[in-house]
Amino acid sequence: MNNPDAFESIVGALEYPMLVATTVAGDARSGCLVGFATQCSIHPPRYLVCVSDKNHTYRTLEAGARAIAVHVVPESAADLVELFGGETGDDEDKFARCAWSPGPDGLPVLDDCPSWFAGRIVDRVVLGDHVGFALEPFDGRAGYDGLAFPFSRAKGIRPGHEA
């Protein structure tokens, strides 16, 4: 690439919402902060969530998870951003440090995120050091109409896991 600094500079300045993706496989629960995510189809509805292949969450996804819960992080929920972005499930159980409830398919649903949807994993694509999981939404709740926690406020956090 001729000017990699330009790319880094541009993507570092873009604004986008912070999400927490949670999943379950058997007794194992995982979740991490995600910025690389977007709706990618209208008909049928599809959402793409990209997870680093180093993350604890990725290993749970690969251990037989069938679905992901995607949570909109409210702009007031800095503690969730720190917990799910700055800590890794390799070292601790994040779900012991936050309020959550069992949701559809046993997915952990975060009590402090009133807007979330559950999506079945219908495709998986290796995209580099992140793997894209294409989701077919099948349940959820739209309980929050405020702003999502922005990337500009989260990018100073040191990720719990190397990407």
Ligand X SMILES: Cc1cc2nc3c(=O)[nH]c(=O)nc-3n(C[C@H](O)[C@H](O)[C@H](O)COP(=O)(O)O)c2cc1C
Applying CB under 6 A, what is the total number of residues that bind ligand X?
26
Q: Tell me the HSE value of 150 on the side-chain side, using a 13 A CA sphere.
A: 8
Q: Is 88 in the site for ligand X (CB under 6 A)?
A: yes
Q: Is 132 in the site for ligand X (CB under 6 A)?
A: no
Three-class SS state of 95: helix
What DSSP character marks residue 154?
H
Q: Is 118 in the site for ligand X (CB under 6 A)?
A: no
The answer to whether 112 and 144 have CB atoms below 8 angstroms apart is no
Three-class SS state of 24: strand
The binding track of 135-154 with respect to ligand X, each residue x by CB under 6 A or -, is: ----------------x--x
Locate 72 and state its tokens: 């909109």
* Rg of the Cα atoms in the chain: 15
| Cβ 113 to ligand X shortest distance, Å | 15
Q: Considering only residues 22, 23, 29, 34, which one is a binding residue for ligand X as defined by CB under 6 A?
A: 34
Of 24 and 87, the one with the shorter C-beta distance to ligand X is 87
Three-class SS state of 107: coil
Instruction: Give the type of residue at 119.
Output: G
Q: Considering only residues 22, 23, 29, 32, which one is a binding residue for ligand X as defined by CB under 6 A?
A: 32
Q: Considering only residues 29, 52, 110, 135, which one is a binding residue for ligand X as defined by CB under 6 A?
A: 52
* Binding region for ligand X (CB under 6 A): 30, 32-36, 50-52, 55-57, 84-85, 87-90, 130, 151, 154-155, 157, 159-161
